[in-house]
């Protein structure tokens, strides 16, 4: 092999090696990003929510500009040539200027009247908007079902996170509120196990192909289970942290998914009631916090297997699991 060929082959090897290293770095970052999944969210504020709602309902008064002399001239049907000629004749100039002035004064009166009506319209719209928003705000503080539902639906639906480091996961959910129990019920569709990548690194073969190395089932299943429980903690914590009016005492969280192999069936994997007094924001940010361990301490919790077992149930890898959870209460029906 000539030196040129050797250089060419070495260049191919270096490129393949560099590609494998970059892809491996990406996988490492993706896996590391799961560590922040349970606590990297942005809570809402009820006051800010209704302030923004009022802002969107309100209108801004924008007065019409005062008429210019040119506008008055055009309104008086005096063309630019007639106006220009009048500049050289004092009598014509005086006459035309008087007509323009009268036209401008009349236009000003009309503009002032339009502006007055527009100002009053804006005032009325804003008064009604404030009255409506204040009423909704007061209803929310009293635990009104509709207002609480609308607010927390917006909170959860605007949550933005990734389960593969780059792409946003398009989740779906159903939510309800019980004013008597001060309970949020949420049926939350979590990622299916095959929606989470099991690639841990990339390697370069002798043929200079860059191929993935996959995690073993023993390593991957705990990762998937951790994501499941972290999403439960994340969403529940987001609800509690967004409840600065204390209208929520507990969250009934149902984690379910729908498998390609059973598209007409909602498969429930977890059902748990988490009281607000069991949650502490600073705890879930601790490095050693374990979502599964935290949820296992709840009085009402149902899981595929023994939730106190550190190891994930093997059926969690099935599509779908032969056994599924019967939710404590749900809004979904097969």
Tens digit of each residue's pLDDT (9 = 90 or more) over 247-296: 999 999 999 999 999 989 999 999 999 999 998 776 888 888 999 999 99
Number of Cα atoms under 13 Å in the Cβ half of residue 208:
10
Q: Is the pLDDT of residue 135 over 70?
A: yes
Q: Please tell me the pTM assigned to this model.
A: 0.86
At residue 297, the pLDDT reads 95
User: At residue 285, what are phi and psi to the nearest 5 degrees?
Assistant: -90, -10
Question: CB neighbours of 57 closer than 8 A, spacing ≥ 6?
Answer: 129, 132, 133
Q: Is the pLDDT of residue 167 over 80?
A: no
Packed helices 145-157 and 46-57: angle between N→C axes, nearest 10 degrees: 90
At residue 169, the pLDDT reads 61
At residue 164, the pLDDT reads 66
228 versus 84: the higher-pLDDT residue is 228
Q: What is the mean pLDDT of residues 74-95?
A: 81
Cβ count near 94 (within 10 Å):
11
Which residue stretches of 142-215 are H helix? 145-157
Identify the CA nearest to 50 among candidates 135, 153, 124. 135
Contact in structure between 326 and 302 (CB atoms under 8 Å)? yes
CA separation for the pair 108, 281 (Å, rounded): 61
Where are the chain's structural domains?
Answer: 3-39+162-317, 57-138
At residue 165, the pLDDT reads 60
CA separation for the pair 136, 43 (Å, rounded): 20
When pLDDT is cut at 50, 70 and 90, the band that residue 81 belongs to is confident
Q: Is the pLDDT of residue 71 over 90?
A: no
Q: What is the mean pLDDT of residues 290-304?
A: 96
Q: What is the mean pLDDT of residues 90-112?
A: 86
At residue 70, the pLDDT reads 86
Pairing type for strands 183-189 and 250-257 reads parallel
For the chain, the average pLDDT equals 91
Identify the CA nearest to 121 among candidates 133, 131, 113. 113
């Amino acid at each position: 092999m000539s030196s040129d060929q050797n250089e060419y082959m070495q260049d191919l090897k270096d490129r393949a090696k560099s590609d494998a290293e970059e892809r491996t770095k990406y996988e490492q970052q993706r896996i590391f990003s799961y560590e922040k999944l349970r606590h990297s969210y942005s809570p809402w504020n009820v006051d800010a929510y209704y302030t923004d709602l009022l802002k969107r309902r309100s209108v801004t008064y924008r007065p019409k500009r005062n008429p210019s002399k040119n506008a008055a001239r055009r309104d008086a049907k005096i063309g630019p040539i007639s106006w220009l000629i009048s500049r050289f004749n004092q009598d014509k100039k005086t006459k035309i200027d008087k007509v323009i002035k009268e036209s401008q004064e009349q236009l000003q009166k009309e503009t002032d009247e339009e502006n007055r009506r527009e100002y009053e319209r804006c005032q009325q719209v804003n008064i009604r908007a404030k009255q409506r928003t204040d009423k909704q705000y007061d209803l929310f503080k009293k635990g009104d079902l509709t207002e609480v539902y609308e607010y927390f639906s917006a909170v959860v639906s605007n949550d933005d996170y990734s389960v593969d480091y780059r792409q946003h996961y398009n989740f779906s959910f159903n939510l309800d509120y019980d004013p008597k129990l001060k309970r949020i019920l949420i049926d939350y569709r979590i990622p299916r196990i095959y929606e989470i990548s099991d690639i841990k690194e990339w390697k370069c073969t002798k043929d200079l192909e860059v191929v993935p190395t996959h995690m073993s089932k023993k390593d991957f299943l705990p990762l998937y289970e951790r994501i499941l429980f972290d999403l439960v903690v994340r969403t529940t914590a987001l609800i509690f942290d967004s409840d600065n009016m204390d209208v929520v005492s507990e969250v009934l969280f149902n984690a379910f998914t729908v498998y390609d192999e059973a598209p007409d069936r909602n498969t429930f994997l977890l059902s748990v009631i988490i009281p607000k007094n069991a949650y502490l924001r600073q705890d879930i940010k601790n490095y050693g916090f374990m979502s599964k361990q935290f949820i296992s301490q709840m009085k009402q919790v149902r899981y595929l297997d023994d939730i106190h077992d550190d190891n994930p149930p093997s059926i969690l890898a099935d599509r779908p699991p032969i056994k599924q959870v019967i939710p404590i209460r749900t809004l979904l029906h097969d």
